[in-house]
Amino acid sequence: MAAQIIDGKLISSQIKDELKEKTALLKEKGIEVTLAVILVGDDPASEVYVRNKKKACEYIGFRSLSYELPAETTQEELLKLIDELNDRKDVDGILVQMPLPAHIDEKTVINAISPSKDVDGFHPMNVGALCIGEKGFVSCTPAGVIQLLKRGCGGKIDIAGKECVIVGRSNIVGKPMSLLMLRENATVTVAHSRTKNLEEVCKRADILVAAVGKAGMITKNHVKEGAVVIDVGINRNEDGKLCGDVKFDEVSEIASAITPVPGGVGPMTIAMLMNNCYEAALMHMES
């Protein structure tokens, strides 16, 4: 039987609509959720991402402050702007669009953002909080995967007690994904480029998350009958079309549920960023 499609477009719209309602209630109390978005340089892909984030803010009713800086901006200038935004009481979230030009050190920039405004969830304080099970901002893409699992297939996917294999161990996807799955009580295996017998390891999974960045590398030989398959990968195939890490056609014949690319994990990332901004505003209200 063909797999059920987990529709990220639909689920992300639901989340954005819920946020829109909650934001309207905050507005009635005179509180405006504000995200500052910083873009350095003119990378076309980054420009699209930033535009989409600003659009989402507008839809939900957040205020977005836009800082479009020239590629020659020095690290010092960028850090100064971040400092100013850290100090501003009317700014809830700060997002610096990555990648940054080569002369700017991304780690230094991430570390400069106040953890309470780090809505991307990249600051070591927030990563640490996730690690020890404390409250903090969680990286948006893996947080989105958890929402897909919880809300997809009519809420019938159980995570607790399941074998979960994550392929990929990056700081923004694979690692936080493994911690979130652990928090949801899955039994977690993280595979990577040095993993031996990847097919066998993946075949153990009840829930398989592919976050590698290699078009179609997960085939039906990696997937157990009835597994849930989440495809985080965003790649271009030979025809220039967007595709995931998973060979969708063949895997959807044996999986019980699967996310498409595009329209799966992708739209969830922005929805979870918006959720983090809302949470940041609540936190700042209380402090």
Q: Does 234 carry a binding-site annotation?
A: yes
What DSSP designation does 270 have?
Answer: H
The annotation status of 168 as a binding-site residue, yes or no, is: yes
x/- mask, ligand NDP, residues 142-181, rule CB under 6 A, reads -------------------------xxxx-xxx-------
Using the rule CB under 6 A, give the single segment among 25-33, 90-98, 102-110, 193-201 that binds ligand NDP.
Answer: 193-201
Residue of 7, 92, 118, 120 with catalytic role: 120
- Closest to 231 in 3D by CA, of 255, 203, 209, 247: 209
Residue 208 in tokens = 């398989």
Closest separation in Å from C-beta 232 to ligand NDP? 4
Q: Is 27 a catalytic residue?
A: no
Is residue 114 annotated as involved in ligand binding? Answer: no
Q: Does 193 bind ligand NDP (CB under 6 A)?
A: yes
Pick the closer one to ligand NDP by CB: 172 or 227: 172
By 3-state DSSP, what share of the chain in percent is helix, strand and coil, each rounded to 5?
45, 15, 40
Cα 68 from Cα 77, distance rounded (Å): 13
- Asked if 210 and 245 touch (Cβ cutoff 8 Å), the reply is yes
* Cβ neighbours for 11, distance < 8 A, ≥ 6 positions apart: 147, 148, 151, 152, 267, 268, 271
User: Which residue, 86 or 216, has its beta carbon nearer to ligand NDP?
Assistant: 216
Contact 138, 131 (CB under 8 A): no
Q: Tell me the site size for ligand NDP, rule CB under 6 A.
A: 25
Task: Give the interface with ligand NDP as residue ranges (CB under 6 A).
Answer: 141, 167-170, 172-174, 191-195, 198, 211-214, 232-235, 265-266, 269
Residues taking part in catalysis: 53, 97, 120
